[in-house]
Amino acid sequence: MLENLITDANLIVPEIIVAVTLLLVVLFDLIFHKDKSIIPYIGIVGLFAALYYAIQGLPQNSYAFTTAATSHQYGLLAIDSFGSYFKILILITSILIIFFSKASSEIQRIKDRSGEYYALIMGMVLGMLFMVSASDLIIIYLSVELLSLSSYVLAGFTKLRDRNSEASLKYLIYGAVSSGLMLFGISLLYGMTGNTNLIAINTVLRNSSINILTYSFSLILIFVGIGFKISAVPFHFWTPDVYEGSPISITAFLSVASKAAGFALLIRFIKTAFILNETDSGSWSMIEFFDWQTFIIIISILTMTLGNFVALWQNNLKRMLAYSSIAHAGYMLLGVAVLSNQGILAVMIHFLVYMLMNIGAFYIVMLIANKTGSEDIDDYNRLGYASPFLGVSLSIFLISLTGLPPLAGFISKLYIFLAVIDAKLITVAVIAVINSVVSLYYYIRVLKHMFLKKADQEPKGLKLAPAEIVFVLILLIPTIIFGLYFTPMIEFARNSLSILGY
Amino acid sequence: MNGFPILSWITFLPIIGMIAVLIMPNKMEKGIKLITLVITGLQVILAIILLSNFNYSAGGIYEASSFQFIEKFRWIEISGLSWLGTFKVDYFLGVDGISMPMLLLTALVSFIATISSWKINKSVKGFFALFLLLDTGMMGVFVALDFLLFYIFWELMLLPMYFLIGIWGGPRKEYAAIKFFIYTLFGSVFMLLVMIGLYFSTTEVIADGSRVFTFNLLAMMDPTNYTTNGILSPLNPNNYRFIAYIALFAGFAIKIPMFPFHTWLPDAHVEAPTPISVILAGVLIKMGTYGILRISYPIFPQITLDLAYYIGLFGVINIIYGGLVALAQKDFKKMIAYSSVSHMGYVLLGMASMSTIGINGAIFQMFNHGTITAMLFLIVGVVYDRAHTREINAFGGLANKMPMYTGFVTIAFFAAIGLPSLSGFVSEALVFVGAFSSETTRILTMFGTLGILIGAAYMLWTLQRIFFGEFNKKWDDVLTDIDFREYAMLVPLAIIVIFLGIYPSAMLDILNTSVNTLVGFLHSSAATITKMSM
Amino acid sequence: MEVGLNHFLIVSTILFSFGLYGIVTRKNAIMVLMGVELILNAANINFVAFSSFGNFGINGQLYALFVIILAAAEAAIALAIVLNIYKTFSKVNIDEINNLKD
Amino acid sequence: MLDTNIINISLVILLLPLFGFITVVFFGKRFSKLYLLEVAIIVAAFILSLYVGYTKLTTYLHQDLNFSFTWIDFGNVFGKGSMHIDLGIKLDNITVIMLFVVTLISMLVHIFSMAYMEGDKRFSRYYSYLGIFTFSMLGIVLTDNLLMMYIFWELVGLSSYLLIGFWYEKKSASDAGKKAFLTNRVGDIGMFIGILILFTNYKSFSFDYIFNQISNGVLPFGSEAWLTAAGILVFMGAVGKSAQFPLHIWLPDAMEGPTPVSALIHAATMVAAGVYLGLRIFVMLTADAMLVIAVIGAFTSFFAASIALTQNDIKKVLAYSTVSQLGYMVLSIGVGAYTFAFFHLVTHAFFKACLFLGSGSVIHSMHHEQDMRQMGGLKKKMPITYASFVISSLAISGIPLTSGFLSKDGILAGSLAFGHLTGHWLIPALGFLVALMTAFYMFRLVLMTFHGEPRNKEKYDHAKESPFVMVMPLIVLSLLSLFFWYTPNPVSPEAGWFAGSWVKTPHTVVPETSRFNFMKSDIMTEQDQTSEHNESGSIVEPEEEVVHSEMYMHAMHWAHYPAMILSLVLATLGILLAFVMYQWKKISPDKVTNTFNKLRLYNGSLNKWYVDEIYNSTFIGGTMVLSRFLSWFDKYIVDGIVNGTAAFTRVFSTISGYFDTYIVDGLVNGTAFFSGSIGLALRKLQTGKVQTYIVLVLFSVIILFYLIGPF
Amino acid sequence: MGIYDIIFYLFAAITIVSAAIVVNTKNIIHSAFSLLLTFFGVSGLYALLGADFLAIVQIMVYVGGILILLLFGVMLTNKITNVDIKTGVLNVIPAILGLGIFGAVLIFIVTSTNWHVEKLVIPKTTTSMLGNLLLTDYVLVFELLAILLLIALIGAASIARRDKE
């Protein structure tokens, strides 16, 4: 028993480290209640350690916490390279977000509560780490809740403005209902299969006939919960409001890490529970009761279209980026909809790139908001001249988000389209490219304001700390390099493709 | 060229220049301008070196071995993808008779445009940095032989162009810039899809002997490389190939710009600053026709042959429609912008002929239009710089006030009209001869010849309104004859226009072998593909 | 008709629907939270009923237990947030708190 | 190698004026006397062409000299074999005669202009333009192929444009230049299409090669109709350049240019280029084409003469008279009187140049007064001008002992024969009517200008005989209007060397079936057959005239004397009528005017039958309306359709105001509009009320379930 | 209809009726106390299903914990003097419509499904079995829940406490 426990614990070292860091943060919060500036560093150290072990854990491929009642391959967690890839992404994002938070004036103003802030961040990280490797519906539900509960609080954490609290409340109610629906779906699925383990469910589905109506309904309900996390239309409604209302560091975190975790969860859920078999060329044939492809394509088209078209109208940059992140979720869902390793690869690459460019964009928005106190697009007028570095960097991030060469965003878009066209989903591809043209409008609009518009008064140049420039460069340089030489990025993703299961 | 990567140099030299410009402090405007001038000057020199080493008898088009100055190495290689085998992208540059004139044109027009930018004084650094980036994009498009590389260069010039119009442009610059951007992007995203479709339909043998999918344009042209069920493979019984052709063509057509996708052009031209109008008209819109010749024609030969009539039809519509609309313009620059629409119609018509003479004429027209329109836009720039208006009716009688200027205007206008002994005539005549000799485009050609008349009408009318008649005393102080800098821009172009008018073989000999190869390849490959798909 | 699985499921379904109804219609945030609790309870009934009738072992009860604990945690956070809202807006009517919108 | 020498000399003649043009253009400002170089050059060119003409007409009378080189080489063209475009020159008899005529008149005009244009601020520019004109004209004359013909054709158009609009400060002048260029281009389009037809079929532009192919039975697209079409289309160029109806409108306006220019370009040389082209392609004209040409010519000559009757501007009368005479020449080509078409071209060049220069002399001395109603009685003041003017007028009226009598008589005879053979009697009838009208309006002009009482005393007092450089050309030209240069027998042109041996009707190459009956050769001579089977590419001219059948010879013979007598009678009648009305005042011109005006004829004629007005309101107006419409269409509809759809625009126009306010800067056009509208609609969902969101989620779940569920 | 059935219907009725009151009454206090009844009803249903431990936990946690929390919430967010602690409704029609369809669909599919039903087995010792499971197979969940509770604690405390001004 204990041996098992130790073996299992070895498999989840990153999670354990994060949990310990969480406790340490709480502890240090109590010890150093005068000056809490050390706390973020504890978090950073802990996350780096976790990252180290996550990278170490890349080649691992086994189940952890196998249940005694069943054979070995039915674990609560699946520790595989796919999960580790996302764990690495999430941990990197978390580290970036901690630096991000340190630079953010919003977070600086609540310094005395920074212990709780970082503790909750750790809670989110932990939730996400479990999400990406969860292979049991209960773990899925609980890890989603762990993530959610932390983020509900964080969304309203600063309490600086009305909208913080409002974001928090909306997020809470929306999240509670979504997870409630998901739970109900889980209970129905449990009723049909008598199990909550994805592999076990897969076995049941292969071998017995089930009521398709109930089955579909429960899957849709479960998808509500996941769709809520990845802000897929029509489960996205919270996204713009919460993104706008939250502290910008949390917005960035939600838009990248929590979405990554959601996607990892979705992919694992589909791939583990509903696959019939995987061909040599990496495409999946699915158990036929539920047409995942059509379903996700519908969601995906809705998502990208709504995200892009509504983003056109936004004047608040944070809100615009929220819609843009919805749109990107749509593109990534396209990668999922292909239902092949190729699509998954595209999603993985897209996340890597998306992390760079989205955090970069948010970071610059934050830097500007720090100084000007505004995220309004009109306040960006002529900013490109006042602060050329920020202007150019933000332009590059936004152009990369548009998916224009020679930036990394193009490569990830290319991979998605490679997958989609190879799957012969031509109509979908056409809709997607038209969407990407539409997206240009709002991204370029920011550039227009920064460089083309006339300002009432010339904005003052922003003085940047060296650390801030370094932070931007850390994100900017890979965005450019990966656009021109993307072999390492794709090699990395390709080596992390294996998902446990059939 | 003894292993000297001259094409890479000519393509990426501006990037080096851009970095240098960015390093320079803001205040050293002269220095920034000089760097740009030196860089573009070096480009011209490299282009001349290329020309002097150019083998006139090498065909190129579909045959890697007869391309020249080839640079090819594996840029991206990712193996072990179970569904793709190896994902690879080559850095593959090369030149043949079709790209050589475009390369010369790009180098020349960039150089002239640099001189023309001398008076830019707003955010000088930004302007020249973007200008040089644009230069790389344009040059790259004309030398790339790998579709992905081509696409990257193609998109690369969008953003600099957006800013160059949007920041340094006229009153409605933002509108014009975004319109340009959106139109072009709209075209190019479909190009992206077609590119991916083609990627999955063609394989190429790589070093280890296995066949992998490829972006290599030359491999895509070889019917034997098609996969059995690739989405755009003729072996695959679906009509995607046709749709893909249309999509690809639309992408290029927007750039040309072909009716009815041309509406971005007048706006962009009118709002853009003079050097950018020069680049836009001189080089950028050639990318569309170049792309059609380089990609659409050899990769989809049988569809090209089937649709020749429609290509020609749109060409003729462009000629007549563009001309008639130009006739109604009151803005000097807009008039010239529409004349570009009209003149690009000749290119389309020539291409539609599918004959050596016609395509020769079309490419020659591309080059000539590049030089002539560059001249025309510079000419507009001259009066606009001085009078700050482009209203045609605001002027009159400039011939006496600015005789040398009028001289250049006359050359440029008559070249645009297609007066013999100037280069425009030869290309237009060849286009007509070629198009008429093809059964499909014969009747169209007859309508197309109306363009000769309409062109003369709007050009001469404009000439009359601006240069003849009574001089408007309002401009007495501002309008002075052209200065040294303007000579430096106009003289080389005028010399080229006259020289090629008298001795067109200087250019046509460069083209000829490749065009013959292309025409031959079109027919033989179409036959092969038809046989395959049966 | 003998009471069977379906009876329990119908109860849970009704409870679920009422919960949703409450969430959707009530203005007061706390009453919305009550609706959430109803949903969770409905799911719990399902878990327990399935595990008992389907002979799936006792796992279902365990899951219900987890959910109950989670509901408590969620309620704690929810109420904290509601209090925070009350401090900020002096009201807890959700529909009146909509500064964030398009 | 004498023939090489001649070719080389011809090339020198061609390039000399170009050299002059370039030199004067670049250095004319700096060296004000540089125009003398230009004059010297043209004198040299004249002397050289005299030499060339002499050598050709003596040594190589029956042999053509050719020289050509490859201009553009297309290499081995797919499916068509080797292909190239050649340029070259060809010297045959009409070439060298034209060479002589062009250089001579050009030289005289150069000299005349030294005085006439003196003091003009763009004096050297004027000479450079004359230089490029001469160059282009010589190019037309010398070329051996259609492409080069077209090239120089256009260049002639350009120089004409430049010279007509020389005084571009005057709007009427620049208008006239533009009109000339554009009208010519209309004809040129036809010509170009004709050339395209020929090139497409024969892969060559060379006259000889094309004719050889036709005579070998290779027809364009295999049909005679296309041959007819090609002939007519190429001839369209001549219609433009030679100001034939309906493209004649530019020539009278072209009188806005300096008068020596009118003499050179719009009387003697450029307008004759059209006729020259007609002669060049004469051998490939089918019967139908010839009939069309004859009708055009006849109508034009009559139509223009009818206008010339009433004009008051001295140059306008001459301009319409030129149109009318060109109509004669075209008619002559149409009826197959090749020799006389060319003959009339030459004689007309001299006497019409003389008339124009004479009028220039008058205008010069009257201080640029052109209205005849302001003149009168000038014969005393300007005796030499008067004398030369009268000689030329007699020549144009076709009075014996003048060159005009010889050529015109030939044309009338030819047309009469044609009418007799084909039944198209209207053509000779119009021809004779025009002879009457010509004599009348020419002498009306002479009488109003030189006879009677001076009407404008002030101007009259200042008038004096022009300087020597101006009268010398007049003397030379009027002398050339006399018969003895062309034939020893003043009533029989055939007896002379010109029509008798230098210029012979070439053998037509069109298939028998599409010739006129009278042109069908009854008996093929041996030379004929050898020429048809000569495949070397150049035709050796048959030594004997074998073109016409016996029938035609008979008809010609029959027509000769009636035509001569009739034309003489009509010309005399015309002159008499002019005297009656303007010298002896027996009939008041006003009365005649009123009489005719009852049918609105006088005003119609005075206003050139409103052709310009009709064109303005139809073609030009229509084009402008169309172009403005298209411009509007482009701006609002095409842009609209492409950017979105027009329907969409309409539907959403109601909210466009809103849209404009908020999004106009970034989302300006229709696609944006469209996408913006979608965005706007979707945006409405984002109410900010979380419970609404939940309702939407629930509905979505149901919809998704419906969509995806297995129903 | 046996006694088991009668008890079931009783508890079911309590649950449903009180739930209906919870979501329909205007008075928050009424609604909170109805919720208490609902929890009791559910607890009874658990007992009927043989989940005795769960029934107790339900009452302890829900009634002792969550409901008290909710009541605190009600008290803290409404002035106690305010006699009618009432709350309005919104979205009633779409809610009834949507949930009518939703509930109908749900009931239809729930009843039409051929669930895996075996004989109702009432285990005797659920408490120990649950305890065993919790510390063996589901020890991870156990730990996870511990952290979740910690997070909830930190979160609730940090967001609800008064800021140091």
Residue E151 sits in the same domain as residue E95: no
**What is the arithmetic mean of pLDDT over A440-454?**
86
Q: Does A497 fall in a domain?
A: yes
D125: tokens are 């520019």
- In terms of CA atoms, which chain D residue is nearest residue A218? D705
Give pLDDT tens digits for A224-268.
999 999 999 889 999 999 999 999 999 999 999 999 999 999 999
Nearest to A334 by CA among A427, A471, A245, A446: A427
Judge whether A190 and A137 are in contact, CB under 8 Å: yes
- In terms of CA atoms, which chain E residue is nearest residue C42? E42
Residue E32 sits in the same domain as residue E84: yes
**What is the arithmetic mean of pLDDT over E57-68?**
88
User: Distances from the Cα of C74 to the Cαs of A173, B217, B452, E131, in angstroms?
Assistant: 11, 59, 80, 23
Q: Does pLDDT of A296 surpass 90? A: yes
Burial of D118 (0-12, 13-18, 19+ CB in 10 A): exposed
Judge whether D443 and D393 are in contact, CB under 8 Å: yes
B482: which residues sit within 8 A by CB, 6+ positions away? B382, B402, B404, B405, B408, B490
- In terms of CA atoms, which chain D residue is nearest residue A242? D688
Give pLDDT tens digits for C59-81.
889 999 999 999 999 999 999 99
Task: Flag the least confident range among B180-189, D269-278, D519-528, D572-581.
Answer: D519-528
* Residue B132: per-residue pLDDT: 94
Q: Does D695 touch chain E (CB under 8 A)?
A: yes
Average pLDDT, chain E: 84
Q: What residues form DSSP beta bridges with B74?
A: B90
User: Distances from the Cα of B88 to the Cαs of B199, B205, B222, B294, in angstroms?
Assistant: 11, 11, 18, 21
Cα angle for residues B407, B411, B415 (degrees, 5° grid): 165
Contact residues on chain D for E90, CB-CB shorter than 8 A? 691
Confidence of residue D526 (pLDDT cuts 50, 70, 90): very low
D222: how many CB neighbours lie within 10 A of its CB?
11
Residue E110 sits in the same domain as residue E136: no
Q: Which domains, and CATH codes, for chain C?
A: 5-101 (1.10.287.3510)
Give pLDDT tens digits for D80-117.
788 888 888 888 888 888 888 888 888 888 888 888 88
**What is the arithmetic mean of pLDDT over B277-289?**
91
Residue E69 sits in the same domain as residue E13: yes
* Residue C95: per-residue pLDDT: 80
**Residue E70 structural domain:** 3-125
A249: which residues sit within 8 A by CB, 6+ positions away? A97, A100, A101, A104, A106, A107, A366
* Residue B2: per-residue pLDDT: 60
User: Distances from the Cα of D105 to the Cαs of D15, D45, D90, D111, D273, in angstroms?
Assistant: 18, 12, 22, 10, 14
Q: D interface mutation test: which of C95, C96, C99, C100 has the most D CBs within 10 A?
A: C95
Residue % of chain D over a pLDDT of 70 = 89
**Domain total of chain A:** 1
Residue E69 sits in the same domain as residue E134: no
Q: Does pLDDT of B308 surpass 50? A: yes
Confidence of residue D521 (pLDDT cuts 50, 70, 90): low
Confidence of residue D646 (pLDDT cuts 50, 70, 90): very low
* Residue D397: per-residue pLDDT: 85
Rounded distance between C-alpha atoms, residue B126 and residue B168, angstroms: 10
Question: Are E114 and A126 within 8 A, CB to CB?
Answer: no
Question: Are D691 and C24 within 8 A, CB to CB?
Answer: yes
Helix-then-strand count for chain B, H and E = 23, 4
Rounded distance between C-alpha atoms, residue D123 and residue D114, angstroms: 9
Residue E45 sits in the same domain as residue E65: yes
Rounded distance between C-alpha atoms, residue B291 and residue B184, angstroms: 13
Question: Are D688 and C101 within 8 A, CB to CB?
Answer: yes
Q: For the domain that residue E20 is a member of, what is the CATH number? A: 1.20.120.1200
Q: Does pLDDT of A338 surpass 80? A: yes
CA atoms within 13 A on the CB side of E161: 12
Task: Flag the least confident range among A455-469, B43-57, B365-379, E9-23.
Answer: A455-469
Give the closest-approach CA distance of C18 to chain D in angstroms: 13
Q: Does pLDDT of D533 surpass 60? A: no
Which SS3 state, helix, strand or coil, does residue D159 take?
helix
**What is the arithmetic mean of pLDDT over B395-420?**
87
pTM of the model: 0.90
**What is the arithmetic mean of pLDDT over A362-380?**
88
D635 secondary structure, DSSP code: I
Q: Does A46 fall in a domain?
A: no
Q: Does A421 fall in a domain?
A: yes
Which SS3 state, helix, strand or coil, does residue D588 take?
coil
**What is the arithmetic mean of pLDDT over B462-484?**
83
Residue E165 sits in the same domain as residue E104: no
Q: Does pLDDT of B444 surpass 50? A: yes
Q: Does pLDDT of A106 surpass 90? A: no
Residue E40 sits in the same domain as residue E106: yes
B326: which residues sit within 8 A by CB, 6+ positions away? B335, B336, B338, B339, B341, B342, B454, B458, D627
Residue B75 φ/ψ, nearest 5 degrees: -95, -55
Is pLDDT larger for residue D583 or for residue B377?
B377
User: Distances from the Cα of B376 to the Cαs of B285, B319, B394, in angstroms?
Assistant: 15, 18, 18
Confidence of residue D674 (pLDDT cuts 50, 70, 90): low
Give the closest-approach CA distance of D682 to chain E in angstroms: 19
Residue E36 sits in the same domain as residue E56: yes
Which SS3 state, helix, strand or coil, does residue A84 take?
helix
Evaluated on CA atoms B461, B463, B467, B473, the torsion sign reads: positive
Which SS3 state, helix, strand or coil, does residue A408 take?
helix
**Domain total of chain E:** 2
* Residue E87: per-residue pLDDT: 67
Question: Are A213 and D710 within 8 A, CB to CB?
Answer: yes
Evaluated on CA atoms E47, E49, E54, E60, the torsion sign reads: negative
Residue % of chain D over a pLDDT of 90 = 0
* Residue D542: per-residue pLDDT: 44
Nearest neighbour of D692 by CB, restricted to E91, E101, E102: E91
Give pLDDT tens digits for D446-466.
888 888 777 777 777 777 777
**Residue A298 structural domain:** 291-502
Average pLDDT, chain D: 79
Nearest neighbour of C100 by CB, restricted to A149, A167, A177: A167
**What is the arithmetic mean of pLDDT over B488-497?**
91
Q: Which helix (H) or strand (E) holds A9?
A: helix A2-11
Task: Flag the least confident range among B184-193, D549-558, E154-163.
Answer: D549-558
Question: Are E99 and D698 within 8 A, CB to CB?
Answer: yes
Q: Does A471 fall in a domain?
A: yes
Q: Does A418 fall in a domain?
A: yes
Rounded distance between C-alpha atoms, residue B200 and residue A426, angstroms: 13
Give the closest-approach CA distance of B275 to chain A in angstroms: 18
D613: which residues sit within 8 A by CB, 6+ positions away? D607
Is pLDDT larger for residue A349 or for residue B482?
A349
Q: Does A370 fall in a domain?
A: yes
Question: Are A238 and D693 within 8 A, CB to CB?
Answer: yes
Is pLDDT larger for residue B444 or for residue D644?
B444
Q: Does A336 fall in a domain?
A: yes
Task: Flag the least confident range among A466-480, D362-376, D590-604.
Answer: D590-604
**What is the arithmetic mean of pLDDT over B272-291?**
91
Q: A interface mutation test: which of C74, C86, C91 has the most A CBs within 10 A?
A: C74
Residue E14 sits in the same domain as residue E55: yes
* Residue B314: per-residue pLDDT: 92
Question: Are C74 and A145 within 8 A, CB to CB?
Answer: yes
Task: Flag the least confident range among A68-72, A83-87, B372-376, D689-693.
Answer: A68-72
Task: Flag the least confident range among A132-141, A405-414, E12-21, E107-116.
Answer: E107-116
Which SS3 state, helix, strand or coil, does residue A462 take?
coil
* Residue D651: per-residue pLDDT: 43
E136: how many CB neighbours lie within 10 A of its CB?
16
Rounded distance between C-alpha atoms, residue A473 and residue D6, angstroms: 79
**What is the arithmetic mean of pLDDT over B162-182?**
85
Q: Does pLDDT of D540 surpass 70? A: no
Amino acid present at A233: V
B384: tokens are 């606009």
Q: Which helix (H) or strand (E) holds E31?
A: helix E28-48
* Residue D538: per-residue pLDDT: 44
Rounded distance between C-alpha atoms, residue B301 and residue B292, angstroms: 11
* Residue D536: per-residue pLDDT: 43
Q: Does pLDDT of E17 surpass 80? A: yes
Nearest neighbour of D638 by CB, restricted to B260, B399, B504: B260
Judge whether C95 and C27 are in contact, CB under 8 Å: yes
Task: Flag the least confident range among A142-156, D268-282, D509-523.
Answer: D509-523
Which SS3 state, helix, strand or coil, does residue B161 take?
helix
**What is the arithmetic mean of pLDDT over D253-267?**
83
ipTM: 0.89
Give the closest-approach CA distance of E80 to chain C in angstroms: 14
Residue E23 sits in the same domain as residue E94: yes
Judge whether B120 and B278 are in contact, CB under 8 Å: no
Residue E94 sits in the same domain as residue E163: no
**What is the arithmetic mean of pLDDT over A304-311?**
88
Question: Are C30 and E15 within 8 A, CB to CB?
Answer: no
Give pLDDT tens digits for B104-120.
999 999 999 999 998 88
A40: tokens are 């973020």
Which SS3 state, helix, strand or coil, does residue B79 take?
strand
